[in-house]
Chain A
């Protein structure tokens, strides 16, 4: 991939966008329908590619890649007409009562979507659904780390979707850098903070708005009165799903020593039920994506001063790491300096909820925060005293499957959001429109020079916000 090729593709897409072909509802619906066929008709190929790249169990591929994409497509297709309607139900005031005031949602232009390797299908297709629904053209840049999925997307997208409007460009870090020299109307990136900074720097000279879906260390409180067996099940499921390689996986646990002592046997039992005595032999256990990431995780584990109480086994040849739990982990531990993104679960012991909350607030704002507790006061206290992209009480990850909730980070975990309608809004411009009536020119006269106290007095009276009205107006 080289710069002239990117520019050619980009220029072609821009010309298509200018022609207005992506604007009509029918066009968008057809493309979304075709994307639906792409996923439905190639399920087996998708599963095979994901297994090749990530050793992803079929169940996980279906749940977290195929079905989540299909759901977002159904949701978008069902709601597209509503989303596209101008919004008329906005407050007016005395002065604009005779006017037509509304908000239009308009496409931005040509957008760039950069995918990630941990969920290589849905992390690129869900933003694409939103971009199509909002009437844009798009360039997709799938992660080069998952080569089988990357190639499959490069092959299938042009077969099912309009080649004039959507293109897949493949390549590595250097190719992405050169792609970013071009101007886009929006950049959607999922990945790491380091790369996110360089994307923002590349976007600044073009004043391109950016959505960043990053990550962080998502804490998980287990506190107060709780059914430890159920909590352990849900925790294990969300932690070890995709071998811990989820941006919203619970990164570490905060609990009292007492809870920890009850938790460990529950975790052991759950892991045995899930994966059997040897998780390495279980079909439901995945692998680490690359040797580089495997080494990174093993380094962290080796440098950690915590005590391994569950798991710890590993195999370099197939990048296997067993579901591993450590206790006696301190704030300064190697495992607590960066997002783990693997099947390693440190447990930090706290004396009180406040201590845990203080600890969390000393770190960067995470993408997700979890609390397992039967006590409403515990959930409320944590919610009110922390911030995070999203929050889930008494479960893990599942909040991101609800199309009604925005999915995105805050602070170092990202900016902007998507899923469902939120994705549509992300890829749209909200244009405020006022269609003034020709009448009432006698009233308009109040605003014109030559100015006078008399006119100003009337204007002030007419335009001052009245408490029970919907909006205010400053100048007639």
Chain B
């Protein structure tokens, strides 16, 4: 079945149906309509999947998606146009440009924590770039997956953008097919399997994975604001966000104030009993609930720690003085547990972070520019937000993606379009100027070789700024000299003329 779906998508792509810009725009606008018209149903599905609050849905998934679509619709003509490239003296009369082109049939594998945003945002990029796309939503968010399967064919072209639902075996079957690009969001274990499957067909991949995103709090910082921002980012979607601050690094002297700041914020956000707050989520399924609870084994919570297995509820939980070797610190938590690891200073914090795998995000709270500069310069990560959490995700002119174990490739905004395009280098010459070409042909001799070498030297091959400035300056000087000479000649003529 999967093979036929892919085959049909390929036939439709090869027929050129997904390429015209008008078609792409029309499909994107239709996707926009789907989100607007069906918001209620989407919110219901998310409530059933993950107890998502009705406000979190537009906030965390739909507004961002709508913005991506509007941006793509507005900028598509510009993105898809040939991009001129710096010319050289040798190519001055040629056309030299990069033409973005669709790749073909792409596979998009979504995730369960933000099933709409993480499945449809890549789709926006794929459609905008002119591809066909097979969409495989995560089976763990089953209500959203079924709803997507029912809705998408009603708004988008069914042949070009089919939805395939199913579990592990359906995904494996899909991965046996040949795609021109695979876009996967999820964990690194499956990421490796996706890459292996792609290797067989030499298919490029984008992997949006995760990791432990550290959050360093400097001691001289407005803790009230910092704790509020961190608390928001950590406990939204019940901690099940790939860029949630995974753990806090701070000096021992401020640890208790940090805990107090979080406690106060939790009270403001969810009241004294988060379980009864309509704004607090649940863990996706029993398996993940058990996994997260196991991480807490042997540790006493400084805040929270309560749970209710029947509802898959885990209270917002903070654990102090967590040792680096604790199980809590060995893998991405992906839940509402927030360990605090104490470090002696910024050096210690940087060292701690650099010893570990490159995370998807790093957060640093500081009023000290030097601290911020050092954290940026001496660590690496997919992205960074300073003095807040997660917000770099929301600006679609910033590339969003991981590095090392946290992923490969990037998307959002124009980056999505570029990720799903092939940038074809184009040089269109004329058959004129053949005299210039003559020195390159055999039979060879010293003079020809010298001439070719000269012609290839960078200032001629590379029409760089320096050469340009030199050329403009020289022209101005030459013009100036010419004007001066003309004035002198006129004056001289005037002096020798007797009519004065």
Contact = CB atoms under 8 A, between A and B. Distances in A.
Interface of A: 18, 20, 23, 57-59, 62-63, 67-68, 70-71, 74-75, 78-79, 90-93, 95-96, 99-101, 103-104, 106, 108-109, 185, 193, 196-197, 200-201, 203-205, 207, 209, 212, 214, 226-227, 230-231, 233-234, 237, 273-276, 282-285, 361, 372, 374, 379, 383, 387-395, 398-399, 401-407, 410-412, 414-417, 429-438, 441, 444, 447-452, 455-456, 459-460, 463-465, 467, 470-475
30 contacts: A23-B377, A59-B442, A68-B456, A75-B458, A90-B395, A93-B395, A96-B395, A101-B397, A204-B193, A207-B195, A283-B443, A283-B444, A361-B14, A387-B101, A389-B424, A393-B95, A401-B456, A402-B91, A415-B204, A430-B410, A431-B403, A436-B391, A447-B59, A448-B232, A449-B268, A449-B277, A456-B58, A465-B74, A472-B396, A473-B396
A472 B425 contact: no
A86 B70 CA distance: 27
B280 to A, nearest CB: 8
Given A448-B269, A449-B277, A463-B67, 18 more contacts: A71-B457, A90-B397, A106-B403, A108-B403, A193-B202, A207-B209, A227-B431, A392-B426, A402-B88, A431-B383, A431-B403, A432-B410, A435-B387, A441-B225, A451-B59, A456-B59, A460-B63, A474-B63
A197 B452 CA distance: 38
What are the 10 closest A-B residue pairs judged by CB atoms, nearest first? A472-B67, A474-B64, A432-B398, A200-B199, A451-B55, A393-B428, A284-B442, A204-B195, A405-B425, A399-B427
Interface string B62-84: 01111110110010000000000
Contacts of A275: 442-443
Contacts of A405: 85, 96, 98, 425-427
A78 B466 contact: yes
A455 to B, nearest CB: 8
Contacts of B413: 91, 471-472
Contact of A395 (B193, B207, B268, B427): B427
Interface in B401-445: 401, 403-405, 407-410, 413, 422-431, 434, 437, 440-444
Nearest to B377: A23
Contacts of B377: 23
A472 B413 CA distance: 8
Contacts of A452: 55
B96 A404 contact: yes
Contacts of A361: 14
A79 B464 contact: yes
A472 B85 contact: no
Contact of B388 (A70, A434, A473): A434
Contacts of B437: 233-234
Contacts of A441: 225, 228
A451 B196 CA distance: 43
A351 B413 CA distance: 44
Contacts of A96: 391, 395
Interface string B255-297: 0000000000000111100000111100000000000000000
B60 interface: yes
Contacts of B396: 91, 471-473
B372 interface: yes
Contacts of B188: 207
Interface centre among B56, B367, B427 (most CB of A within 10 A): B427
A197 B196 CA distance: 9
B199 A284 contact: no
A201 B199 contact: yes
B430 A394 contact: yes
Contact of B398 (A205, A407, A434): A434
B425 A75 contact: no
Nearest to A202: B199
Given A429-B380, A434-B386, A90 B398 contact: yes
A118 B188 CA distance: 37
Nearest to A445: B228
Nearest to A270: B441
Interface residue SS majority, chain A: mixed
A91 B395 CA distance: 8
Interface in B18-70: 53-56, 58-60, 63-68, 70
Given A234-B437, A430-B399, A448-B268, A464 B383 contact: no
Contacts of B86: 404
B71 A465 contact: yes
A65 to B, nearest CB: 12
Contacts, number: 346
Nearest to B65: A474
Contact of B202 (A393, A415, A450): A415
B140 to A, nearest CB: 22
A276 B443 contact: yes
Contacts of B430: 394
A342 to B, nearest CB: 18
Interface of B: 14, 53-56, 58-60, 63-68, 70-71, 74, 85-88, 91, 95-96, 98-99, 101, 103-104, 180, 188, 191-193, 195-196, 198-200, 202, 204, 207, 209, 222, 225, 228-229, 232, 268-271, 277-280, 354, 367, 372, 376-378, 380-388, 391-401, 403-405, 407-410, 413, 422-431, 434, 437, 440-444, 448-449, 452-453, 456-458, 461-462, 464, 466
A121 B408 CA distance: 29
A256 B378 CA distance: 61
Contacts of B428: 379, 391-394
Contacts of B461: 71, 401-403
A414 B204 CA distance: 9
A204 B134 CA distance: 22
B456 A67 contact: yes
A78 B466 CA distance: 9
Contact of B196 (A204, A276, A379): A204
Contacts of A416: 204
B191 A406 contact: no
Contacts of A449: 53, 232, 268-270, 277, 279-280
Given A193-B202, A394-B428, A430-B410, A450 B269 contact: yes
A112 to B, nearest CB: 15
A91 B464 CA distance: 26
A402 B458 CA distance: 10
A417 to B, nearest CB: 7
A268 to B, nearest CB: 15
A101 B398 contact: yes
A282 B394 contact: no
A275 B441 CA distance: 10
A108 B380 CA distance: 9
A177 to B, nearest CB: 15
Contact of B453 (A23, A67, A237, A473): A67
B397 A433 contact: no
Nearest to A368: B425
Contacts of A464: 63, 66-67, 70
Nearest to B199: A200
B36 to A, nearest CB: 12
A438 B277 contact: no
Query: Among the interface residues B104, B268, B367, B442, which one has the most CB atoms of the partner chain A within 10 A?
Result: B442
A240 B393 CA distance: 51
A106 B410 CA distance: 14
